Chains A and B, each alone.
Chain A
Amino acid sequence: MSAARPTDGTHRGRPRGPGVIGVLGELLLTAGVLLGLFLVWQLWWTDVMADREQSGILDGLEQEWGAVDAERIAPRQDGPPPVPEIPGDTMVWGSMHVPAFDRERFPLAEGVSLEQVLNVKGAGHYPETALPGQVGNFSVAGHRNTYGRVFEDIAELEPGEPVVVETDEAFYVYEVTESLVVMPQDVEVIAPTPGEIGVEPTEQMLTLTACHPMYSARERYIVHAEFAYWTDRADGIPEALADEGEK
């Protein structure tokens, strides 16, 4: 540009007229950049924000409940498990440990509101379902690709692997029984007796629900687990978390 006209010191090559095509091209480029930025935000920045939020929540729980003695393996309790107190909609009342996940521990809050629970706090308890340890189907939703992706590795869960819920009083240990892919409207997976709406529950079940396939919400990935035992939080950690390291 300026090299072609060396005598013109300040001139920087002016466009010849408005150039509709050029403006259109710039608008298209801008749209492309905006889409790219949206992906960066959705797939990376929401994780950064949610991770920060969730580790803050976990630190808060640790302070409120006191540290667990991770050196001690707590004995299994025989009696009926304590029923956790639910502080209210959208409030955090526990945490979950899944040793098979990359992100082994994350907060558990009441409700499945995207804006107020799942996008910011971690996993969310379907309010109409049972509580941990109760007969029925304790059901939990979580993100798989975005916002901290607490259930990112949900498809890695194999039968027999533990899913543990921690409250201020107890650890509730469940063991995975099966995994399935269903359509979003298939609410029978969180029915009190999983898969059978209207049937009186007899087992203590846990169900996790997440998006499926990855980066889509066309279907749902479902994991069912069955209650195995519970331990008193004051006694240390349950055997299922023994190799989780210090937590």
Chain B
Amino acid sequence: MTTTIELRNVSKVYGSGAAEVHALREVDLSVAAGELVAVMGPSGSGKSTLLTIAGSLEEPTSGEVAIDGTLLSTMSRNEQARLRRRSIGFVFQDFNLLAGLTASENVTLPLELDGMRAKTARALALEALGTLGLADRAGTFPDDLSGGERQRVAIARALVGDRHVLLADEPTGALDSTNGESVMRLLRTASERGVAGIIVTHDAQLASWADRVVFLRDGRVVDQTLHLPGPESLLEPEPHR
């Protein structure tokens, strides 16, 4: 399998002097196409930072990040924005749909930002929404959608077009268990279609949907497991790798 997302020796430091905080310390992580990786860890362990650095929303203090083999550090700000439009999809806990746009317009947004004609983008958006069972809600504004529907729209937006990198930060955090499981199933399906995904979650049961689980503590990767013996085992990390 080809490596889609690769973090090499990535560190991130916030602040300076006495206020210095090491959010990530020399993290290495590779995600192949079609692989779904769950990132778990206590609060402040650096999970969200890892996700934002992988998605080019933040720059690492040191280390390298490569998407499809291209180093982000070699890309300009506009090239990184183009990468996010074409290759990377984000799903957030708070859905983060734009209230002024309908469900389908939210989905077409990255495509239209990338210059695709509105009609073409809308056809792709409707197809994506249809796949997620929201074809009849395409013209609805986010305020009129339920929490589960909003997150499915957010997933549709993250996957629409040729995107093959999915980064989800607590995608089920604001959902009940039924909707949460439904969302994870969708992410799993996307992964099986060849999308490389990283999911940050606190929920060990949901993490079990992933191919691999990475456990972070104090900014370090303290555990990786390929085959999950059970969610409970993740809560007893080894003291050293």
Do the two chains belong together in a single complex?
Answer: no
Q: Give the interface of B toward A (CB within 8 A).
A: none
